[in-house]
Structures are given as structure tokens and as C-alpha cells.
A and B are shown apart, each in its own frame.
Chain A
Amino acid sequence: MRYHNITKDDMLNGDGLRVVLWVAGCSHCCKECHNPITWDPNGGLLFDAAAKEEIFEELEKDYISGITFSGGDPLHIANAFDVTELAKEIRVKFPNKTIWLYTGYTWEEIRHLEIVRYLDVLVDGEFEVAKKDLNLHWKGSSNQQVIDVKRTLKEGEVRLHEEDCEVS
């Protein structure tokens, strides 16, 4: 897996202050994507032990609420396996931290994947510029869903992270 950046104390990509891993590789190619530089799976840097250590170091901090996987698409074929392994490891090592993931795939398309078991919140779906709305919480366009994965799995149908999160 390759990645572009690890941002710290981020408050725009999930609850609390988070460490965000921006992976390389995405095949959705959404119109007006805010990060097209990350589409190429061969771009960026190799995700090595040092990068992982950098993330773990952040997660050790008490004011960090958790990690967010973004990109790129963390579930792109070049990333899905490594991201799943990493999420699994974080789940065990840091049971009190939350894991968020942004993907261009829909819940229906990925609900069977192993990784969903380790997620707290999943933001799904491609960015559709026609449905763009700056007042939405955590997502760019209204077709996307901010899914409470734990409750969704338990209750068998999609449950949103904030039921009233559409308007600020």
C-alpha cells in the first residue's frame, strides 16, 4: 500500500481530533474530486513500518479520538488488504479509539467485507457534484451516508451516525 499523507489533530474527518491516513489509489474518479492527485495507486510513498509507527504514536495520545482512513479509496484493490490488517491491529491495540473510513463504494457493495467489523463509522458513496452541499456533516454530497457501522450490523439495516446530521 502507498499513501500520500498522515495528518494529525484533524477535526474535519470524524468526531474529535483524529489522525488521518490518506492512501493512494482510487478508481471512482468523481467529478470535482478535491483530491485527484491521490487517484494513482503508484503515487505517494510506500506505507512502511515507520509510517505505521507514526500513526500508533498519535493514537497513544489521550486527546486523539481515533483514526480515519481516507484517500484515495482505502478499499481500492491496492489498499483493501493492508487497510483491513491495520484496522484489525488498531482495534486490538487501541480498543477505546474509533475507526472511521471514507470510501467511494456504497454500503451494499462492501458490507460483506471483513473490514466493516472493525469500523465505527463508514462514509460511503461517490461524491456527486450535483448533490454537493456544504452544510452536510462529514460528507460532501447528499447521496453519501455517514453510517453507524456497529448499530447497522446489529440491527440489520443502515443506521446513520447522527440521525439529525443533515443540518448544522
Chain B
Amino acid sequence: MDLKEVRVIKKDGTKEEFNVQKVVVAVNKSAYRALIKFTDEDLKFICQFVEEKVQELGKTEIQIAEMHNVVEGALEKVNPVVAKSYRDYRNYKQDFVHMLDEVYRKSQSIMYIGDKENSNTDSALVSTKRSLIFNELNKELYKKFFLTVEELQAIREGYIYIHDMSARRDTMNCCLFDVKNVLTGGFEMGNLWYNEPKTLDTAFDVIGDIVLSAASQQYGGFTVPSVDEILEPYAEKSHKKLFEKYRNLGLAEEKAQEVAWKDLEKEMEQGFQGWEYKFNSVSSSRGDYPFITVTSGTNISIYGKLVTKTMLEVRKNGQGKAGHKKPVLFPKIVFLYDEKLHGPGAPAEDLFEAGIECSRKTMYPDWLSLTGKGYVASMYKQYGKIVSPMGCRAFLSPWYERGGMNPADVDDKPVFVGRFNIGAVSLHLPMILAKSRQESKDFFEVLDYYLELIRQLHIRTYEYLGEMRASTNPLAYCEGGFYGGHLKLNEKIKPLLKSATASFGITALNELQQLYNKKSLVEDGEFALQTLEYINKKITQFKQEDGHLYAIYGTPAENLCGVQVQQFRKKYGIVENVSDRAYVSNSFHCHVTEDITPIQKQNLENRFWDLSNGGKIQYVKYPINYNVEAIKSLVRRAMDMGFYEGVNLSLAYCDDCGHEELAMDVCPVCGSRNLTKIDRMNGYLSYSRVKGDTRLNDAKMEEIAERKSM
């Protein structure tokens, strides 16, 4: 039979001449979606296979569905992954109707009811609603085109949780952005050339723009590490300029020095105020306020100290009308603590004091130990490198300049600034234990299955993101914001992904232990510890085998803390102390209702510290804010232990009369319930109430209400 006589009947009934080139176009599209490129030989095989089958059928008219089966048959032989991609696309009409219906349903609920999944979004805003609706679509697309059937099954049932699904198709996760590298010598942003700032004032402005612009191109935390180092040269330039100005006006040297310094202090203060306004009111194109963190404290030159002190002072004093000032939430401030600089009697103890004064009023700064025990401090002690935290608690693993994952030799040095993470996937440990029991399998065997699932997902993510072009985020990939970020706009970002980390999240260790032997992390914890040790061992093995920087992350479950309970109940019902509350415990933290002292909490959580190097924080509750010595004792102790430590206060402000008092629900001065309350979510602070109304999900609110030792 002559193939030229064969007609294909399409879905709408029209007929078309059979043409094998059309098959080539279709399979190439499917291959592209699966990140695969067929060789000429592959294509030749497919064509041959299809033509033979059509011949075999011996019909002059073939239904399109039949034609698809033939092509799928060919693809199964050449590459099953592409076959899947082809099949998925084939079903697209039906699936897309379903997907759009789902998105429409969610969008209606977002428009009229609101969304409380992320406390950094004000979901009432038009821009936020818009992006939330887009996120719904993007999430569906991710599920449809990125995930495998096994992964879908696992997330649907809740054994694993893929964080930030709505953004994973677009970009990477959190980073330590190299602002200094971008600024030095000038740079290009939005097709405009920016000269390197010549004054502190301009530096604040330009950095603010860089941060907002770059942070919009990613999801998760955006950290500006060691801001005291970044601002120092511009402070010095401004100072010189001011001094010369006053000298030229005829002031004596000493007087000129004095007024120039005063002006510089003012400039610094205004700069930080500008950032606070900008970072808390200008929402990013993502629709939320980008999670910006700045770290500071180790530069103790006069300018460095001025940076840290002013930043803390501005935060402590708050923003707002006189008599109604409240602390802002962004940027998050992290104090970089070096015992030799900030310890008792050390040259920058005044910075420590200023930090404590700020913490006791606003909770921030959180405190990062550079000189205690453990991983972060070891990098500082051995190499002088600071591993600043990203977002609420993430830390990068070391990547060495020459050796990569391992140091090439004793002189090799690790790099942290300019690197990033590509996303986190969390294990639902209590559910995995429940499953192993129900199926009479070994817990670790079931755990292995999910670890492997996450591993494969991470591998595909590295590959997928590597295909992106530098033009997706020019400040990062072309202007030096990221390590190795001097690519041309149309180059692929693949080379930068080598030093990126990918996280395996763990959470609800307390509930895992409870399910295991009806004991809490306070009463026991051995099984939780054993599990975490096992995961560490596996991840180390994966790292070596795959050459990817995997890390273990103590998941800060905000919405997830409630979602996991729902998932658990659906499969395994209500189990006492496991799924009987509205929320599960965050990562390795003791249950919030535990009646334990801060010292006990520090000791208990210390057991898991070195086993969660990809993300962790420790914090204790202070029922009063005037016991400064207690705050100092506990922060110093935390610094000795090598912690990343938070001070927890339940801040509350009356929006009517301006009265502030810890933990109030009704203002005792004027009787108003119109309060703004700030509580710690986990690694970051959040409004638990704004003008009397909550912004958090119900599960989190219930957790906050029950807090005793958090």
C-alpha cells in the first residue's frame, strides 16, 4: 500500500494526508518537555516504526487515537520518559479542563474568602490575589508536567510535601546575594547602567532597588550577608565628603570632624529607615513582601560598628506615628556573634549590648554563633567564612573554590556568598511510620522509598533549572549577584547549579516519637534521633553518588503544621499526641505545650542540632521583657553551644491608644481589641493579628494560643 494514500481522521472529523514529518514534530515537542533531545538515529527509528505499523494496519483511513497509539508504541521503545510526556500531552484537553476548573474554584475562594497559607502575604490586596491565582495555575502545571505518578501519589496522600510548588517551574529558592560584587565597579539593571555609589545615601537607595528587583526573581529567603562589610566603604566615602565640605566652609578640623560624624550618623539612620519602609510596603512581583534578611556584627571598624548599631537602633525604635510606633518585620536582622569580638570584655561588647536591647523590644535580631560548637562556627573558625542564614532558617553546605564538594587541599577555601538553594521537599515522618506498621514493613525500608523519591525529584530539578537562561535573573546570573554569575543573557545557568543545595526536610519529630512509643521529645527522643541519624547517613551517600549538595532541613511548618494533621487523620485517624491537635510540632522542636525551662529546651534541642545542618533554629520564650540579664545569659549560652538563637516574646500593641504590653488580648488601658500582635512563626516573626484580625491559618493560631515554652 502506498502511504501517500493513507488519511488520518482528526478529532473534529477532518481528514489529513499521513505525513511522517508531523510525527517527528510531535515527538520532538514531547521530548523537549521531558528535557530530552532525540538523536537522528532515534528519529529514524521512530519514523520507520510508525510507517511499518501503518502499513501493517492496511487501512486507508486511520483514526487519530489509533495513530497516537502507534507513536506511543514507538516512543516506548526509544525512551519511555518521552512516551509518558507524549501521553500526558495527549490527554491534555481533558486534563486542562479539570485543571482550569480547579484553578477557577481556588480563584473564587481567594477572591471572596482569602488565603492564609503564607503569613507574608496580605491576601486582601489586588496584586496578591492576582499572584495567588497565578500560583494556583502554576502549581497545577507543575504537578501535571513535572511530577511522576509516584510523586503525585506521595504528595496527594501526604507522605512527602513539596514546598513552593507554585514557583518551582520558574526559578530557584533562597540565596545569599552578593550585593558587593554587583555594586563594585558599577552594573546594569533594567537595561540601565548604574555607577558604583559614591555616597552612603545613594548606596542605600541602589541596594534597596537591587534587592527588590532580584528578590522578585526567586522564591524564599533573600539574604544580604554582612551588611556592615557592604556599607563600610560608602560610609567612609560619605564621611570624607562631609568632612571636606565643612572644612571648605571654614570650620576648624575638630569641629568639622564632629559635625561630619553627626551628619553621617543621620545619613545612616535615614538609610535604614528607608529600607524598613521599602521592604515592608513595596510588595514584590510575587505578590508578597520578599523575605529579606540582613546579617551584621563582625565588622568592628568605626564604620562597621556604626552600621550595626544604627540598624539595631532604628529597628528598636519602630516605625509609625508618634506614640504608636511598632517594629517592622523586614528585613529580618541576624547578629553575627563572635566571642572574641562580642564576649564579656571584648572590643565590640557594646554591639552585643545594643543587640540585646533590640531583641528584648522587637525579638530581632536572631543570634548566630560563629564561635561555638558545630558546623557554622567551624567554617568561621577554620576559614573565617560566615554561613549566613537564609529565609527563616536555611544554611548552605560548604562548596570549595577548587575542590567543589570536598576541599582540594589544605589551602582550598569554601564559598558561601552568592550561592543558593533550589528547593525543599519534606518527609512526613509520623505517616511513614504509620504506613510501615500498617503494611508490616520495616520503617527504614519505607523511609528509603520516600528518600529515593525526593532524591530523584531533586535530580530532575537540577536538570530542569539548568536549562534556564541567565536572562531570567540578570542581576544574579549576569551582574555577579550569584557565585559565577557573569554569564551572557542567553547562556544557560547550568554551571551555577553545581554549588546549589537541595533540601530534604524533616518535621514533627515529636509526633514521630509519640507514635513510636507514646513518649514526647522531653520524655525520650531516642527514636527520633536514630531516624535523623539514619537520614543523615543516607543523604551523605546520595551526595557522594550524585555529586549534588543535598542538605537536611528542619522544616519550619507554618501551613504544613495543619496540613500534615489532616493528611494523617485521613489515613490513620486520630492518635493521641500525634494527630489529636490541630497542628504538629515544627522540625525537631519540643512540643510548644511542654512545661520546661529554657535551659531544658536548649539542651533537648541540642541533640538534633548537628544533624540538621541545612536548616535549623533554636528559641526560648521570655514571659517578661525586663529581665535583661536572663536574655543575656540564655543568648550567651546559646552562642557557646553554637546555636542560631531566637528571643521569643509575645509582642502586642494597641492600635487605638498606642499602649504596648506583652501577650495582651484586650488593651488594659483603653479596653480596645483593635490590637496588632507579633509572634514568632518559627525562624521568622509574623503578625498574628493586624488591627484585630488574624493573618495566620487556624492551625497556627491554635498552636500560638497553646504555647508554653516556645
Contacts and interface: CB of A to CB of B under 8 A. Distances in A.
A11 B630 contact: yes
Contact of A16 (B623, B624, B625, B630): B630
B634 interface: yes
B626 A17 contact: no
Interface string A127-168: 000000011010000000000000000000000001001001
A15 B599 contact: no
B624 A17 contact: no
A63 B634 contact: yes
Interface residues of B, number: 22
B624 A11 contact: yes
A65 B629 contact: yes
Given A16-B629, A16-B630, A65-B633, A168 B599 contact: no
B438 to A, nearest CB: 42
Interface in A23-56: none
Interface residues of A, number: 16
Main secondary structure of the interface of A (DSSP, over half): loop
Contacts of B626: 137, 162, 165, 168
A91 interface: no
B623 A17 contact: no
B114 interface: no
A88 interface: no
B138 to A, nearest CB: 46
Given A16-B627, A63-B633, A11 B622 contact: yes
A135 B54 CA distance: 87
B327 to A, nearest CB: 15
Contacts of B593: none
A100 B329 CA distance: 37
Interface string B595-625: 0011110000000000000000000001111
Interface in B500-525: none
Contacts of B469: none
Residue from A11, A63, A165 having most chain B Cβ neighbours under 10 A: A11
Contacts of A11: 598, 622-624, 627, 630
Contacts of A117: none
Contacts of B622: 11
A11 B629 CA distance: 9
Contact of B627 (A8, A15, A63, A134): A15
Q: Which of A10, A16, A134 has the most CB of B within 10 A?
A: A16
B661 A9 contact: no
Interface string B619-653: 00011111111101110110000000000000000
A16 B628 CA distance: 7
B326 to A, nearest CB: 15
Contacts of B661: 134-135, 168
Given A63-B634, A168-B661, A9 B629 contact: no
B625 A15 contact: no
Max chain A CB contacts within 10 Å: which of B622, B632, B660? B632
A11 B634 CA distance: 11
Contacts of B668: 134
Nearest to B622: A11
B599 A17 contact: yes
B629 A15 contact: yes
A12 B634 contact: no
Given A9-B599, A135-B661, A168-B661, A17 B634 contact: yes
B597 A16 contact: no
A15 B634 CA distance: 12
Given A17-B599, A63-B599, A168-B661, A12 B633 contact: no
Interface string A56-78: 00000001010000000000000
A27 B312 CA distance: 48
A9 B598 contact: yes
Contact of B624 (A8, A9, A12, A162): A12
Nearest to A16: B629
Interface in B40-69: none
A134 B652 CA distance: 15
Max count, chain A CB within 10 A of own CB: residue among B622, B633, B634, B662: B633
A54 to B, nearest CB: 15
A9 B600 contact: yes
A34 B626 CA distance: 21
Contacts of A162: 626
Interface string B647-676: 000000000000011100000100000000
Interface of B: 597-600, 622-630, 632-634, 636-637, 660-662, 668
7 contacts: A9-B597, A11-B627, A15-B629, A16-B627, A16-B629, A63-B637, A168-B662
Sorted nearest first, the 6 A-B pairs with minimum C-beta distance are A9-B597, A16-B629, A11-B630, A15-B629, A9-B599, A63-B633
